[in-house]
Amino acid sequence: MPAEILRMTGIRKEFAGVVALDDVDFRLFPGEVHALMGENGAGKSTLIKVLTGVHGVDAGTVLFAGEPVSFAGPAAAQRGGVSTVYQEVNLCPNLSVAENILLGREPRRFGRIHWSALRRRAVELLARLEVSLDVSAPLGQQSIAVQQLVAIARALDVDARVLVLDEPTSSLDPGEVERLLGVMRSLRAQGMAILFVSHFIDQVLAIADRMTVLRNGKLVGEYTDITARELVAKMIGKDLPVLEGLRGEVRHGEGTLMQASDLGRKGSVAPFSLEISRGSVLGLAGLLGSGRTELARLLFGADHADSGEVRIDDTPVALRSPRVAVSKGIAFCSENRKTEGLIQDLTVRENIILAMQAARGWTRPLSRRRQDEIVARSIELLDIRPADPEARAGDLSGGNQQKVLLARWLITEPKLLILDEPTRGIDVGAKAEIQRLVAELTADGMAVVFISAELEEVLRVSDKVAVLRDRHVVAQLANDSLTPDDIMATIADGGER
Amino acid sequence: MNTYARLVKHRLFWPAAALVLLLLGNFVASPRFFAVQFREGHLYGSLIDILRFGAPLILVALGMTLVIATGGIDLSVGSVVAISGAVACLWVSRLGDQNSLGGTLGAVGIAIALSLLLGACNGFLVSVLGVQPIVGTLILMVAGRGLAQLITDGQIITITGTHYRDIGGGFVATVPLSILIALAAFGISSLAVRKSALGMLIEAVGGNPEASRLAGVASRRLIWLTYVFCGLCAGVAGLMISSNVSSADGNNAGLWIELDAILAVVIGGTRLTGGRFSFGGTVIGALLIQTLSTTVYTLGIPPETTLLFKAVVVLAVCLVQSPQFRRKFARRSRRSVPVVKDEKVEVTL
Amino acid sequence: MTTLTVSRKRYLPILATLVMLVGAFGFGSARYDGFADSQVVLNLLIDNAFLLVVAAGMTFVILSGGIDLSVGSVVALSTLVSAKLLGHGWPAPVVILVVLVIGASLGLGMGAVIHFFELQPFVVTLAGMFLARGLCYTISVESISITNPFFTYVAQTPISLPGGTHVSIGVVIALVVVAVGVYVLHYTRFGRTVYAVGGSEQSAMLMGLPVGRTKIQIYAVSGFCSALGGLLLAFYTLSGNPLHAIGMELDAIAAVVIGGTVLTGGSGYLLGTVLGVTVLGVIQTLITFDGTLSSWWTRIVIGALLFLFIVLQRLVTRRTR
């Protein structure tokens, strides 16, 4: 085995007192694909940012080709031989493929850009990736997969010795993924050291020679031979606390409320079929990025499905927009409270009545007395603090912002409530309250779709669990005495048990 | 918090203070500034003049406030002012009896209907076709001047009708009618947006378009409505301006008023990025601009140089609102304190 | 197949402009005697040389996704500064240099404010518009005529062309500006960065391009072009006037848009802007030749064209995305 090209030892990084990386080691050899695995927040992107010089380190050393290095930023890292390709293609769609590969370092002659040399060079670089296409066509005409390859070609131009691929496959379809993996194989054969970040287990197992798993900013271990099941266990951590069940029997609900058949959207979620019953909770389980949020958005009309249909009470419904969904009694609490939930500048009161008022239209305002009543009741019910309806919503803590959002939808008395990560980033007490609330709501006949990254939480509240993996619904399990291990196994095996 | 601190923190404090300061400055320069006289049953004086000549700007700025609150902008108001005045004057000038009340009302009705239509065109471009507001309204800004001149046939239409002249120059119970119209517009629109849910929904759309969409707000219709309202305000202002001089000038009526209106709105504390708006602030902003013009005039500075002042004010206000500027400024004054990224910067002006 | 249709769509606006230009010109020559006369065509250039230069600067700004509303005022300021300084007996070359430096520095200042404080270009250049126009009035509220021999020489010396026709020196300067502009946009890294910033500022930054520097330079280029346009206008009218070029920013924007440059930036050509200016010129000429149509029809037609092209752009960009 050749000498390692990169060695990171004892890396530690804190952000305002929060430890993001704690004593992490990582090494990379030429001619290998080394996967960096872990859930979101495990520290993968922080480690990459430390490597490419976006962040400095608080402790630890980075050796590149045996020399200690500390890059000043991504551009410096690139010059030094470490190139990064990100999940979103950061190229200019309006320029030609060739320009995108060589922008900023165009070959010049007599001080002017030498266009034919530029095109020639671009063709050569793409040929290295076994890609051939019209390099003078605008990049925007190419598929995302090709754009991704162009980004790689750009990264390779600077005599890269280490190529970092940060979630490159997230928006690709299976054929495109295969093509990208092929390119990675041929680069590996040419001696490139590739750091591959992905949460698609199949892909990692298919290509990686070695895997490093992080969890909560700590190194779990480095593995060369590991099964999918073991890998998932390492990523999530085995030491799950045993929780007493919140529910008794599995409720099968009181009749079907919503039925989705072959609903799907390209590049987002593969077509799936689901049934949601009144008075029951459907949990969505899966790793981050497995398509849980995307599925929820389709059910709410926040994104347009490009296949399949939705029936509510056995009547087909075209969910053209959230507005239509709201009128059909569907409510959706987004996981991004700040960007997709709250209007930060408005008060708590205004945020709570927003959806109700929007449904009534601007000409039929809720009287101020009614507003105050509703809001006071919500604040009391959900224990929103400070209990001041006129406080600016943006000034509230995360947990209280979440409750404001929840209140916004509860007062519309929806038939179906979709909760995307309702308990993320809030304290244990508030968490239990929200879980209890979900149980109460379903007892009153509401249907709930509950999304959470914490498996035990999903299992505590759900009657049925749909398991997602790599943007597919791989299994739907009735929750009678399911354990997190069962779910993990399902995720790892892709539902083929 | 004591009363003083609360007063200073109020978002209308700084614009109001600037206005008071400017008025006091005028008083120092010319002690007769605050004198309000009562002549022939009418009120006269510098303060009354500021209100009277500021009335069209107040109207236009009120309309602009709602558009800006949605995160948009309307550059075409100047052209709408010109068109509305031109149509009304043309209609009156064709009347057999220019003093007929019915005929004058007809002229007003037609001008207002046309203004509503023009506003609806802007709204269509922005909300339905999704054209950027600056660009969409630029079209009418360019073509509108031409339309106004087409209507007046390139001439300045002079009219003699007394009813029409009353819109801008008349008095009701000793108070100039134009002031009353502006006051009524302010009162009615304030009531309309705050008593209905319009104000809140507009602020929601301007404050966070995506969150509003996900909450089921019909933002397209709302945005459209704000442009129609803006057209209406500009139309009434156009009537007032042409009535003041009893003539319609397609070329110069309402020239630069879009800029003054934008300035008034921004001074009044409504951010150009949309969200929270304040009609009261806008009125204060409009009065501040009008007082500035009057001051420059009374001080004997060439009136055209007000543009210089306005340039400085625009830049100052925008810089104060810019988070980047505040951050840099804060860093300089408190060097050792790390500056936390603050997305929710309050507007103090 | 798809590639073909898409790339054809890319050129659709500019093709539409070309068709329209040919149509308008054909219409004019069929209808009016002497319309197709080559001197009429050249006059069109002579009358619009300053607009061409200003629109060239505006093309840089719009390509980068920005907008510059100050150009008209900077043009007026340049005419006034020239007239005033020449009146004080300053030598012409020094005056020209001073004017160009003022224009470029104004642009530089606005660009810096836009970049460093992340303000919307439209607000900053609006302030610049007020500022320059206000400065005009502080210099003079009336028209000042220019009698400097160099300026009158440039204004009055025709350059003869074959066929008994002629152009002004201003036209030559404008064409040189266009040629230099095309070269810069197409053959220099600065030019390509302009396109990259217009395509996606975020990406350009992550690709390691000097985005901030480029943005500031773009506004400096626009300021410089406005000042040069002002000089050409001073040659053309032999006067400085605070009322010159009111509303010219709109003509410049219209010319750029009609010339096929997308207002959101990233796509378009300087030669398209030349077409755009020519279209505006032909419309003016048509209206002048007609005699019964009044001058305000120009504005209305420009507005209608602007509408047409903006809607066209929306449709084209919507399809390709």
Domain termination residue (choose one: A236, A265, A281): A236
- Judge contact between C104 and C217, C-beta under 8 A: no
Instruction: Report how far apart the first and last C-alpha atoms of chain C are (Å, whole number).
Output: 17
Residue B344 to chain A, least CA–CA distance (Å):
8
Cβ distance of C296 and B262 shorter than 8 Å: no
Cβ distance of C200 and A92 shorter than 8 Å: yes
CA dist., res. B119 & res. C36, Å (int): 41
Beta strands A59-64; A6-15: pairing state: antiparallel
Residue among B197, B207, B217 whose CB faces A345 most closely: B207
Please identify among residues 159-218 of chain B the ones whose CB lies closer than 8 Å to any CB of chain A: 195-198, 200-201, 203-204, 207-208, 210-218
Q: Are residues A211 and A334 in the same domain?
A: no
Q: What percentage of chain C carries pLDDT values higher than 90?
A: 45
What angle do the packed helices C270-290 and C169-187 form, to 10 degrees?
150
Which residues of chain C neighbour B130 with C-beta distances below 8 Å? 314
Which residues of chain A neighbour B222 with C-beta distances below 8 Å? 362
Q: Are residues A180 and A268 in the same domain?
A: no
- For C39, list phi and psi in degrees, rounded to 5: -70, -30
- Judge contact between C88 and C197, C-beta under 8 A: no
- For A478, list phi and psi in degrees, rounded to 5: -75, 135
- Judge contact between A483 and A222, C-beta under 8 A: no
Q: In terms of CA atoms, which chain C residue is nearest residue A109?
A: C187
- For A64, list phi and psi in degrees, rounded to 5: -120, 120
Q: Can you tell me the mean pLDDT for A40-57?
A: 83
* One-letter identity of residue A296: A
What is residue B128's predicted lDDT score, i.e. its pLDDT?
87
By the CB < 8 Å criterion, does C187 face chain A? yes
Residue B218 counted as domain residue = yes
Residue A471 counted as domain residue = yes
Residue B149 counted as domain residue = yes
CA dist., res. B308 & res. B293, Å (int): 11
Q: Are residues A214 and A76 in the same domain?
A: yes
CA dist., res. B52 & res. B74, Å (int): 24
* One-letter identity of residue A299: L
CA distance readout (Å), B161 to A218, B89, B99, B164, B244: 85, 9, 5, 6, 12
Structural domains of chain A, count? 2
Residue in A270, A348, A272, A333 with CA at minimum distance from that of residue A302: A333
What is residue B95's predicted lDDT score, i.e. its pLDDT?
85
Domain termination residue (choose one: A206, A236, A266): A236
Q: Are residues A227 and A260 in the same domain?
A: no
Q: Using the structure block, give the residue that is written with the tokens 């005699």.
A: C291
B191 by DSSP, 3-state: which? helix
Instruction: Give B164's pLDDT tier (boundaries 50, 70, 90).
Output: confident
What is residue B331's predicted lDDT score, i.e. its pLDDT?
58
Q: In terms of CA atoms, which chain B residue is nearest residue A354?
A: B215
pLDDT in tens, A251-266: 666 788 999 999 999 8
What is residue B9's predicted lDDT score, i.e. its pLDDT?
64
Cβ distance of B154 and C296 shorter than 8 Å: yes
CA dist., res. C212 & res. B271, Å (int): 25
What is residue C216's predicted lDDT score, i.e. its pLDDT?
96
Q: DSSP code of C27?
A: H
Q: Can you tell me the mean pLDDT for A236-258?
A: 58
What is residue A480's predicted lDDT score, i.e. its pLDDT?
82
CA dist., res. C4 & res. A138, Å (int): 12
Instruction: Give C36's pLDDT tier (boundaries 50, 70, 90).
Output: confident
Q: Are residues A331 and A428 in the same domain?
A: yes
Domain termination residue (choose one: A236, A269, A297): A236
Which residues of chain C neighbour A86 with C-beta distances below 8 Å? 206
Structural domains of chain B, count? 1
The neighbours of chain B, by the rule of 3 or more Cβ pairs under 8 Å, are A, C
pLDDT in tens, B168-181: 878 887 888 999 99
What is residue C299's predicted lDDT score, i.e. its pLDDT?
82
CATH number at residue A89: 3.40.50.300
Q: DSSP code of C89?
A: T
C57 by DSSP, 3-state: which? helix
**Which structure tokens are listed for C253?**
């924007």
pLDDT in tens, C109-141: 999 999 988 888 888 898 898 889 889 888 888
Instruction: Give A234's pLDDT tier (boundaries 50, 70, 90).
Output: confident
CA distance readout (Å), B131 to B118, B128, C76, C81, C252: 16, 8, 31, 38, 19
Tell me: pLDDT of C5 over 80. no
A45 by DSSP, 3-state: which? helix
Residue C273 to chain A, least CA–CA distance (Å):
18
Q: Can you tell me the mean pLDDT for B276-290?
A: 92
CA distance readout (Å), B114 to A140, A406, B167: 43, 45, 18
Residue B3 counted as domain residue = no
Residue A323 to chain B, least CA–CA distance (Å):
4
Residue A331 counted as domain residue = yes
**Which structure tokens are listed for B160?**
């003699």
Which residues of chain A neighbour C7 with C-beta distances below 8 Å? 137-138, 141
pLDDT in tens, C133-146: 889 888 888 899 99
CATH number at residue B262: 1.10.3470
Q: Are residues A220 and A288 in the same domain?
A: no
Residue in A266, A292, A254, A260 with CA at minimum distance from that of residue A466: A292
Interface confidence, given as ipTM, is 0.82
**Which structure tokens are listed for A175?**
């054929």
Average pLDDT of chain B is 84
Q: Can you tell me the mean pLDDT for B123-137?
A: 87
Q: What strands lie across the sheet with A464-469, from one edge to the other?
A: A330-333, A416-420, A447-451, A281-285, A464-469, A472-478
Q: What percentage of chain A carries pLDDT values higher than 90?
A: 33
CA dist., res. C172 & res. A118, Å (int): 33
Q: Find the DSSP H helices in chain C.
A: 2-10, 12-31, 38-63, 71-87, 92-116, 121-139, 149-156, 169-187, 189-199, 201-206, 211-237, 248-258, 270-290, 296-320
Instruction: Give B16's pLDDT tier (boundaries 50, 70, 90).
Output: confident
Cβ distance of A90 and C200 shorter than 8 Å: yes
CA dist., res. B226 & res. B205, Å (int): 12
The contacts of residue C116 (CB under 8 Å, 6+ apart) are B324, B328, C212
CA distance readout (Å), B254 to A142, B144, C228, C255: 49, 11, 30, 25
- Judge contact between A455 and A264, C-beta under 8 A: no
Residue B2 counted as domain residue = no
- For C226, list phi and psi in degrees, rounded to 5: -65, -45
Indicate the domain borders of chain C: 9-320
Q: Are residues A126 and A175 in the same domain?
A: yes
CATH class of C9-320: mainly alpha
**Which structure tokens are listed for A143?**
């598929």
Which residues of chain C neighbour A113 with C-beta distances below 8 Å? 186-189, 192
Q: Residue B235: give the domain boundaries.
A: 9-333
Q: Can you tell me the mean pLDDT for A92-110?
A: 88
Q: How many CB atoms within 10 Å of residue B175?
A: 16
Residue A106 counted as domain residue = yes
Q: DSSP code of A337?
A: I
What is residue B2's predicted lDDT score, i.e. its pLDDT?
64
What is residue C91's predicted lDDT score, i.e. its pLDDT?
93
Q: Are residues A205 and A312 in the same domain?
A: no
What is residue A41's predicted lDDT score, i.e. its pLDDT?
67
Q: Are residues A215 and A295 in the same domain?
A: no
- Judge contact between A179 and A132, C-beta under 8 A: no
Which residues of chain C neighbour A148 with C-beta distances below 8 Å? none
What is residue B347's predicted lDDT score, i.e. its pLDDT?
34
By the CB < 8 Å criterion, does C8 face chain A? no
Q: Kind and range of the H or E element at A145?
A: helix A144-157
Residue A37 counted as domain residue = yes
| A312 vs A455, more confident | A312
Residue A172 counted as domain residue = yes
Tell me: pLDDT of B158 over 70. yes
| Lowest-confidence region among A168-172, B291-295, C236-240 | A168-172
What is residue B134's predicted lDDT score, i.e. its pLDDT?
82
Q: DSSP code of B338?
A: P
| A351 vs C316, more confident | A351
**Which structure tokens are listed for B196?**
């209905």
SS3 content of chain B, % helix, strand, coil (to 5): 70, 5, 25
Tell me: pLDDT of A44 over 50. yes
Which residues of chain A neighbour C193 with C-beta distances below 8 Å? 103-104
Residue among A74, A78, A92 whose CB faces C204 most closely: A92
Q: Using the structure block, give the residue that is written with the tokens 């004593």.
A: A23
Instruction: Give B343's pLDDT tier (boundaries 50, 70, 90).
Output: very low
Q: What percentage of chain B carries pLDDT values higher than 90?
A: 40
pLDDT in tens, A60-75: 999 998 889 888 877 7
Beta strands A256-265; A307-312: pairing state: antiparallel
| Lowest-confidence region among B133-142, B208-217, C51-60 | B133-142
What is residue C319's predicted lDDT score, i.e. its pLDDT?
47
Q: Residue A44: give the domain boundaries.
A: 6-236
What is residue C8's predicted lDDT score, i.e. its pLDDT?
55
Q: Are residues A442 and A398 in the same domain?
A: yes
pLDDT in tens, B285-333: 999 989 888 887 777 777 667 778 777 877 777 777 666 776 776 655 5
Q: Can you tell me the mean pLDDT for C194-216?
A: 89
